[in-house]
Amino acid sequence: MSNDANQKLESLYSEAITLLGEDVHRQGLKDTPKRVAKAMQFMLNGYDQDPVAILKSAIFEEDYSQMVVVKDIELYSLCEHHMLPFFGKAHIAYIPSGRIVGLSKIPRVVDAFARRLQVQERLTNQIRDCIQETIQPLGVAVVIEARHLCMQMRGVQKQNSKTTTSAFYGEFLKEETRSEFISLISTKLD
């Protein structure tokens, strides 16, 4: 982000703090607009990332056609409706069709999409579609379980609620394959 954009963000956060009734010049708030601007830039750096390029940087030809599961991928995002955090875990699987992807690239794709203003439903589909279109496996499965502070801190105020979303493609549309995936992500193997 340009220095000009950063300064504009700082000014906007300073104005917001003032409008909320605080003294932006008091000691504890003096640098808050600058810190918030930097934090927002970090939390929303997914706009600067190309998830397709991330996957394409580590695709390998490999004769492997069984399920590959990466589970318990931590994710942090901001709800686009209230700009409050939602956070949780993503579980992702794919069935290769002659090509595999470097395992670290899957969590990077999650971050690239999560670090944008989001809704969990779209995030789930974006991850599935990116993996499917880029490496063209026999199928993709994505399950995300998250807690939304917009539901916990305000509004309905349900502290223990979690939201689960899923998106399946190809072989994972078959009950047997989907059940195997759900069993694998539900099992503690350590």
150 catalytic residue (yes or no):
yes
* Residue tagged active-site, from 10, 118, 148, 171: 148
Calculated CA dihedral for residues 127, 133, 138, 142, nearest 10 degrees? 10
22, 62, 74, 80: which one is catalytic?
80
| Residue found by looking up tokens 């970090």 in the block | 42
β-strand pairing of 68-79 with 117-118:
parallel
Exactly one of 7, 15, 62, 81 is catalytic; name it: 81
Handedness of CA 168, 170, 175, 177 (dihedral sign): negative
Tokens at residue 19, please?
Answer: 């409008």
Active-site residue (options: 41, 49, 82, 145): 82
Choosing from 10, 118, 120, 132, the catalytic residue is 120
Of these residues, 49, 136, 145, 150, which one is catalytic? 150
Is 91 assigned a catalytic role?
Answer: no
Whether 82 is a known active-site residue: answer yes
Active-site residues, by number, are: 79-82, 120, 148, 150
